Amino acid sequence: MSLGRGIAFGMASVVLVSTAQLGMRWSMSHLPLPAQWWTALQDGTVDPFAVAVVLSAILAYGLSMLCWLLALRDLPLGRAYSLLSISYALVYLLAASLPLFNEDFSLSRSLGVALVILGVITINSRSNSTSDLRNAS
């Protein structure tokens, strides 16, 4: 079991899923409602770049799942699962700081993000609980 490799795959999954979320958010603000896509495609009123971003985001989700499966091979589930929280923080911080998303930035949300990141660091900086028990006896 390689902890470093598992964390690398877990973080790759986080980056990919965060990118997918941001891409889908941007695309959906530039596309009609999904029920109107077929009509918009026929009329030629759909933004082809926005469609490409949606498709790329779907691909990023798929690659994220592959990275997640590889992370689970090397990480205990408790550590791996905590890494997913980073995507919530990353999406919020990027959406609030990049003007193309026009999302609100607030001190309370930023404090929440800081607490999530602190929790992830705390969970992943401790040694495996099994080895903690062995060392305590």
Domain boundaries, the chain: 3-136
pLDDT by 10s per residue, the chain, length 137: 688 899 999 999 999 999 999 999 999 999 998 888 888 888 888 888 998 999 999 999 999 999 999 999 999 988 888 888 899 999 999 999 999 998 888 999 999 999 999 988 888 786 655 544 444 44
The confidence score (pLDDT) of residue 26 equals 96
The confidence score (pLDDT) of residue 80 equals 87
The confidence score (pLDDT) of residue 21 equals 97
Tokens found for residue 26: 């941007």
What angle, 0 to 180 degrees and rounded to 10, lies between the N-to-C axes of helices 48-74 and 3-28? 160
Contacting residues for 31 by C-beta, under 8 A, at least 6 apart: 37, 40, 46, 47, 50, 51, 54
The confidence score (pLDDT) of residue 105 equals 87
How many residues are given for the chain?
137
The confidence score (pLDDT) of residue 1 equals 64
Q: How far apart are alpha carbons 71 and 55 in whole angstroms?
A: 24
The confidence score (pLDDT) of residue 35 equals 86
